[in-house]
Amino acid sequence: MSEPVKNSVLPTRKAMSPLQVFVVVWLVAIAAIGGYWWFMPQVKQNITGTVTRGGKALVWPKADGQLHVIFVPEIRRSDELPTRAECDSLAGTFRVANLRSGSYRVAVHMFDEHHMDALRNQFDPGNSPIYHRVTADNQVINIDLP
């Protein structure tokens, strides 16, 4: 005949403590926010601007100088690099197409033919005190260097 069923002890699960619940919910929320930020469609803006010094047009030490304007994102994604603007050195103007909305440190260089910066690297990507927030398409960002 059949054997009697033994009183087996099933493994019991303990309820999670409030701290464990908080940690799990917090981790899920952080993962969701990070995933949204990583995969969300990025709004791209076109910007233009002018670089002046003391409110006046740039004065080049030599005739064939080149203006460089670089936008470095303050919060940078792993697949994102600084963006160099298209510059008209004689007019002191720049243009960037398809720049992601956000906050940027703006670097400015005035290079001569020997790649020497007339601004003495005061406004290079690591030291520039110039910050701008890109928020709208066709935004104009004018930079006045001291």
Q: What's the pTM?
A: 0.71
Mean pLDDT computed over every residue of the chain: 87
pLDDT, mean of residues 107-127: 91
- DSSP assignment string, 40-86: SPPPEEEEEEEEEETTEE---SSTT-EEEEEEEESS--TT---EEPE
Instruction: Tell whether the model's pLDDT for residue 18 goes beyond 70.
Output: yes
Query: Mapping DSSP to helix (H, G, I), strand (E, B) and coil, where does residue 121 land?
Result: coil
pLDDT of 1 > 60? The answer is no
> Which tens digit of pLDDT belongs to each residue from 77-89?
777 899 999 999 9
Predicted pLDDT of residue 62: 77
Residues found in the chain: 146
Q: What's the CA gap between 100 and 82, in Å, rounded? A: 11
pLDDT of residue 40: 63
Nearest to 44 by CA among 141, 138, 142: 138
CATH topology of domain 44-145: Immunoglobulin-like (2.60.40)
pLDDT at 130: 96
Residue 70 is predicted with a pLDDT of: 97
Q: Is the pLDDT of residue 134 over 90?
A: yes
What pLDDT sits at residue 80? 83
pLDDT at 132 over 90: yes
